Amino acid sequence: MTWTLPEPMLTTPVGSPDLPPGSAAEPKWDGYRAQLARYADDRVMLRSRQGTDMTAAFPEIADAALAQLPGDSGLDGELVVWEGERLAFERLQQRLARRRGAGALAAARTWPAHLVVFDVLHLDGTDISPWSYARRRTVLETLFAHTPLTAPFTLCPSTTDPDTARDWLTWTSAGLEGLCFKRLAEPYRARIRAWGKYKVRTTTEAIVGAVTGSAAAPRTLLLGRYDESGRLRYTGRTVPLDRTAAASLGTALVPTRGRHPWTGRTFAAGWPRRPGRRAHRPAAGGGGRGRRCA
């Protein structure tokens, strides 16, 4: 009888980076949650947290699963793409935009993905999700050491040492989002938010250079900062605003005087994959949604 992967075990936010007693800490990477199944009949399934089939979009992961994993293996991890010295989430988005065929193969050569594996759920026909985290972790480390598993598979670090866990928080410049805390004695529980997630948050000042949506009710804000030459540089955008925040900000935005420094500019990195989105400088009236500053 064919086995199936359990639904993903989930996280819940915690306010402290301190490692709870009886728990292990793992780095939380800036990537896509992904579960991987390699069946004995050479079928491979790579799926997202929501259950979307991503197998065709990441052919290098599927090929490695067939070449390296024993039959009837199930893993849980995080898909990431390295660019230079840090993780590039926008490259993952672009990889998913090229879901099949030659486009997926070309993207795999340009922006190869890795699967940072933090759990093993099935191995050699045995469902080990009911086992404790500590026991599953031992199996996972043995799988990496004795198989051995190599790139594009990477073993996610795990520690029970509070100082080591805190030291990982210094990796944020490379794309670490925070820490995950997992109780050593706990089994893998599908759809249960039992893992803790501490997310690193940093604050800084920025200028609202443009918006998506309308100036009266912006959907997102495009942010900028002045460089050493006094030029306003785009630095990123916010998450979608809720209605209360949008209404409040809509009353605070004021028109730009003179020519806007971002007029005619297209903002590509990190944007949704849908084409034709337009951004507008803060001004009274105006409409459209977007990607280009008008």
Active site residue 28: yes
Residue 245 structure tokens: 């925040």
Could you tell me if 24 and 186 are in contact, meaning their C-beta atoms sit under 8 angstroms apart?
no
Q: Say whether 8 sits in a helix, a strand or coil.
A: coil
Q: Please compute Rg for the chain using Cα positions.
A: 22
Distance CA 186, CA 208 (A): 45
Residue 219 structure tokens: 């959907």
Distance CA 24, CA 157 (A): 10
Phi and psi torsions of 114, nearest 5°:
-125, 150
**Strand residues in 124-237 grouped as ranges (E):** 126-127, 153-155, 176-183, 193-199, 207-213, 218-226, 232-237
What residues are labeled active site?
Answer: 28
